[in-house]
Structure 1
Amino acid sequence: MRFDFFRRQGSKGDVAVDELVAPVAHGTQEPSPESALLEEAEANGYVGYALQLDAQMRVQGIRFAWRDATGGADASAQCKALIECIAKHLNPPKGWRLGRLAVYLDVTVDALFHNELQALPPGNVVLCMGMDDLADPDTRSMLVFLREQGFGFMLRDAPALPQDPELLEIVTHFDVGAGDPALIAEVREGEPVGRAPIQLIATRMNGWDRFETCADHRVDVFVEASRPPPPVKQVGELQPESLLIVRLMQMLQRNENVRSIEAALKRDAALTYRLLRHINSPAIGVGVEITSLRHAVSMLGYQPLFRWLSVLLATSNRTSSHFMMKRAIMRGRFVELMGQGMLPASDSDNLFVVGMFSLIDQLLGVTMEEVLSKVQLTESVQQAILSRKGVYAPFLSLVEACETDSGDAPRLAEALFVSAGQVNAAHLSAMVWSQEASALEMP
C-alpha cells in the first residue's frame, strides 16, 4: 500500500491535471531541476555498502550508501537515486530478492514520500534518520504510517533516545556510534516497556577489539567493505580438508578420470554433501537434482566443478569469519559479471576464481604463495591475483574500487567502457546471487 494522501506536490509519481494537458498545449516539457539532479546522480553514482554483523560475525543486513562521483548531486537527489537503484535491482515485479536480510537506507525527509521507497517490503527495510528529521512535526503522520506498515526506523547520531513518547514508539533501531558501554546502558534503561526491544547497532566501530565489546553487550555492528578483515590465525599450512579440496582441484586440472575424482571425493562424506549442496543451489539453476559427482560432470563439466571447489576451499577454514567468506563469494560473482559480454564465455569461471582467490589468503590463514603453489591456476589468473596485471586485472580492480570507496571506480569503469548503471547492476546482482545460493552459506 502506498501512502499517496501525504505525498508532497511535485514528488515523482504524481500526475497533476495541468501536467496531463501540457504536452498537448505546449509540447514536451523541459525536465525540472529536481529531475535533472536525479538523473545526474543516477548517472554518476556508485552503490556502496556496509554489512551488519551479529556477535558470531554472521551477516544480518546490509546498509547501502550512494557515492556521488562528481559531488554535484545534493543529499536528496543521491538518496532518491539510491532508492530507485535498490527498487530496480532488488525489488523488481517478481518480488524482493534479498531474502531475510535487512536493508538499511539513510533517507531524507523528501524520500519518505517516494513511490519506490513505499513499494519496498516494509519488513526488510530500516530507514535511518537523524533526530531533527524524525522530530519534524510536518512529517510525523508519514512516519507513523510507515511504521504501521512495518518499516523500521534507526535513530542515528543522537546522544539519547527521544523523550517524545510517540516518537519513541517509532524508533526500532538506535545508532550507538563506536559502541560506548555507557551509552548502550543508558539506551537500554530508557527503552519503553511492553514492546519489542530496540536493536542497537554500532555504526562506527573503531577496531576489531571493539567488536568483542559490542558482542558482549548484544550489539550488532556495521562493517564497511573497506575495513581490513579481522585477524586470521596463521596456520602456516593448509588444513586436511583444504588439502583434500586442493587435491581434487589438481585432478580436475589434469583432466583425470571421473571415477578417480569420485573415489577421492568419497573419502570425505561431509565434503561430498557440501559439494552437491552447492551444485544444487538456486544459483546454479540446473533444473534437475544432481545426485553424484559423475552426474555433475555430465551436466556441468570440469571447469564449473573447479569453480565450486574454489568456493569450498574458501570456506574450508572453520576459524575464518562468516562475513569474509560471504564477501569472497560476492566478490567472485561481481568480477565475473563485470567481465560478461566483454570477454569470451569460456573466461567466466576464471573471472569468478580471480575474485574468490583474491581474498583466499585472508580466509585460510596462509600466504597467497602457499595456496598458489598447491593450486596451479593459469598464468593470467595468477597475474590478476598477485600483481593486478593481465586480462582479468581491470575487472578485479574495478570491483575492489567499488568495495573500498577509493574514488577510482569512475576512472576504471570508463577504461572498460561501462557505465555506473552497469556497475551498480552487477554489484547488486552479485549480492542477490550470493544470497539466493543458500547452499553457499557456510556450514
Structure 2
Amino acid sequence: MIRQSLRRTPDVSALPTVIEPVADAAAPVPPDGTGVLSYQWLLDPKKQIIGYRLAWRPVRSQEASDAAACLQALVATVASGFIDRHGQWGMAKMGLLFDVTPQALARLDWCGLPPKNVVLCWRAADFEHPDTLPLLRQLRAQGFGHMVSGTLAPDNEACELATHFDVDAGDPALLAASRSIGRKPMLPVATRMENWSGFDACASRRVPVLVQPDVAAPALAARPSLEPESMLIIRLLQMVQRNEDIREIEAALKHDAAITYRFLRHINSPAVGSGVEIESLRHAVAMLGYARLFRWLSMLLATTDMKAKPAFLMKKAIIRGRFVELLGQALLGPRHADNLFLAGMFSVIEELLGVPMAELLAKVQLGEPVQQAIADRGGIYGPFLELALAVEAGGGEAEAIADRLCMGATHVNAAHLAAIAWSQEIGRADAAC
C-alpha cells in the first residue's frame, strides 16, 4: 500500500522495492533491457506520423556498452513491443528507422521485425566502403531500406542500393542530389527541423520530416470559443460527472450523429477489447460504467475537428495518456487507470483545442489529483506524467525519475511501446469513421 506522502511528492521510502506490472499492462520485453528507448517522429506533409526513428540511451550502469549491444537491445525491445505473442506485426505500414554501422549489423538478430518496415540509417563513409557492399546487397534483397547521410560519389555501386537520402533541414542542393545520384531517385528525408516554417517548406516539396516528440506544436488560429462539436462533448462530460440519467445523456448524444458513430467505433475497437458488440450508449454504460464512459468521451474531445488540428498532436495525446496509465497502474493498481489516462491526455489538450487550460477545467471538473498532475506534476499522478514527459524529451532525466519510483527501464520501455501500439488501434478506428 502506498503511504499518503506520495500524494505530495515521490518518496522512495513510500514505494515497494519490487513493482509487479499489472496483467496485460504492456507487452513483454527482454529481461536484460539496459537502456531507455527514445525516438523522433517521421511526419508526412499532412503532419501524420508515418514512422519512428528509434534510439537507445543506455542506463548509467551500462554506459560502456558497445554500439552492437545497444542496437541489439533496441531491436529486441521494439520487436517485443510491436509483435504480439502470435508473431503478428501490430504497426501496419508504420516505418522504423535505425542508425547502424557495419560492425553493429555483423551478428544482429532482427527478432522478427518485418524488413519492409525497416530503414537502416547509414553514414556515407560506412555506406560507400567496399567491404560493406555485400552486406548492403543482402539486406536490400531481404527488403530493408537504406538511408544515407553525407556526400555520395555518383559512380559508387552502393548508390544503387540506397532508398532514402538525408537532406538535413531540406537543403536544396541535397534535395537535388537525392534525385540525381543513382539510376533511381531516392526518397528525401529532412532529419532536422528548425521551425514549423521549415516544415512547411519541406511539405511543399513532399519531403517527410523528423520531429522530436516534445516539440511545441504549431500555433493554432485564435478561437473565441470551443467548436460546437467540442462543446457538445463537454456537455456530455458534465452530465456524466453529475451522474445524470443515462437516458438524458443518450438523448444529448443523439444530437450529433457523427459523434455517436465515432463513439461507438471507439468503444467497439480492438483497443477496448470488451469482446461484446456495443450498440448504444446505454449498452456502453452497462458494460463499462460511468468512469470508463468519461474516459472515452475525453478521447473524443481530443480527436474532434480533426481537419483543423495537426494529426500528430492527437496521436501524441493518446500515446501520452496511455503511457501515463501503464506507468502508474503498475504501482497504484487498476482502479487508478482512468485518472492516470486523463492526466496524461489532458496535459496536451490545451495545444489540441487552442483554448486556455483554465477555461477548459472550468467546464470539465477533473478530480483534484488529475488537476495537480497537469498543473505542476504534483499529487499522486504527477510523478508518472513527469516520467512520461522526460522519456518524450529523450534526455537523461527519465532514469532518475524512474529510480525514484523504483521502476526499471524494462517496464518503462514496455509501457511506452504498448502505448504506441495501442494508439495504432485507436487510429484505425478513427480512419474508419
Q: TM-score, normalised by structure 1?
A: 0.86
Q: Does 1:418 align with 2:411?
A: no
Give SS of 2:146's match. strand
Task: Structure 2: give runs of 5+ residues left out of the alignment.
Answer: 1-30
Q: Does 1:140 align with 2:133?
A: yes
2:169 to 169, 173, 178: 178
**Is contact 1:126-1:153 (8 Å) kept?**
yes
Q: Does 1:46 align with 2:30?
A: no
Give SS of 2:110's match. helix
Q: Distance in 2 between matches of 1:324 and 1:387?
A: 21
What is residue 81 of structure 1 aligned with on the other side?
73
**Is contact 1:112-1:118 (8 Å) kept?**
no
Deviations 1:243-285 (A, max 9, x none): 1000000111111111100000000000101111111111001
2:276 to 269, 284, 288: 288
What is residue 65 of structure 1 aligned with on the other side?
55
**Is contact 1:236-1:365 (8 Å) kept?**
no
Give SS of 1:335's match. helix
What is residue 123 of structure 1 aligned with on the other side?
116
Q: Distance in 1 between matches of 2:257 and 2:135?
A: 55
Q: Distance in 2 between matches of 1:138 and 1:186?
A: 24
What is residue 96 of structure 2 aligned with on the other side?
103
1:312 to 300, 303, 314: 300
**Is contact 2:102-2:132 (8 Å) kept?**
yes
Size of the aligned set, in residue pairs, is: 398
Structural mapping, 1:345-384, within 5 Å: 345-384=334-373
Q: Does 1:189 align with 2:177?
A: no
Q: Does 1:240 align with 2:222?
A: no
**Is contact 1:49-1:62 (8 Å) kept?**
yes
**Partner amino acid for 1:171?**
A
**Partner amino acid for 1:251?**
M
**Partner amino acid for 1:259?**
R
What is residue 328 of structure 1 aligned with on the other side?
317
- Bigger radius of gyration among the two: 1
What is residue 398 of structure 1 aligned with on the other side?
387
**Is contact 2:68-2:105 (8 Å) kept?**
no
Structural mapping, 1:159-178, within 5 Å: 159=151, 161-164=152-155, 166-178=157-169
What is residue 252 of structure 1 aligned with on the other side?
240
Give SS of 1:341's match. helix
Q: Distance in 1 between matches of 2:330 and 2:285?
A: 25
1:269 to 257, 274, 281: 257
What is residue 217 of structure 1 aligned with on the other side?
205
Distance 1:410 1:223, change over 3 A: same
Worse-matched range after superposition: 66-75 or 333-342 = 66-75
**Partner amino acid for 1:95?**
Q
Distance 1:441 1:393, change over 3 A: farther
2:421 to 427, 432, 436: 432
Q: Distance in 1 between matches of 2:214 and 2:170?
A: 19
Deviations 1:311-367 (A, max 9, x none): 111112431100011011000000000012311322100000110000000000011
Cα distance, 1:44 vs. partner? Answer: 4.0
**Partner amino acid for 1:186?**
A
Worse-matched range after superposition: 240-249 or 298-307 = 298-307
Cα distance, 1:75 vs. partner? Answer: 2.6
Q: Distance in 1 between matches of 2:211 and 2:32?
A: 25
Task: Structure 1: give runs of 5+ residues left out of the alignment.
Answer: 1-40
Deviations 1:378-421 (A, max 9, x none): 11111111121100000000000000023211111011111011
Give SS of 2:259's match. helix
Q: Distance in 1 between matches of 2:222 and 2:36?
A: 35
Q: Does 1:198 align with 2:191?
A: no
**Runs of 4+, deviation exceeding 3 Å:** 41-44, 440-443
What is residue 147 of structure 2 aligned with on the other side?
154
**Partner amino acid for 1:66?**
W
**Partner amino acid for 1:214?**
C
Distance 1:234 1:405, change over 3 A: same
**Is contact 1:104-1:128 (8 Å) kept?**
yes
Worse-matched range after superposition: 213-222 or 134-143 = 134-143
Deviations 1:265-312 (A, max 9, x none): 000000101111111111001112211111111111111111111111
**Is contact 1:76-1:110 (8 Å) kept?**
yes
**Is contact 1:315-1:442 (8 Å) kept?**
no
Cα distance, 1:98 vs. partner? Answer: 1.4
Structural mapping, 1:15-34, within 5 Å: none
Q: Distance in 1 between matches of 2:309 and 2:207?
A: 21
Q: Report which structure shows greater RCO (CA 8 Å, sep ≥6).
A: 2
**Partner amino acid for 1:139?**
T
**Partner amino acid for 1:190?**
I
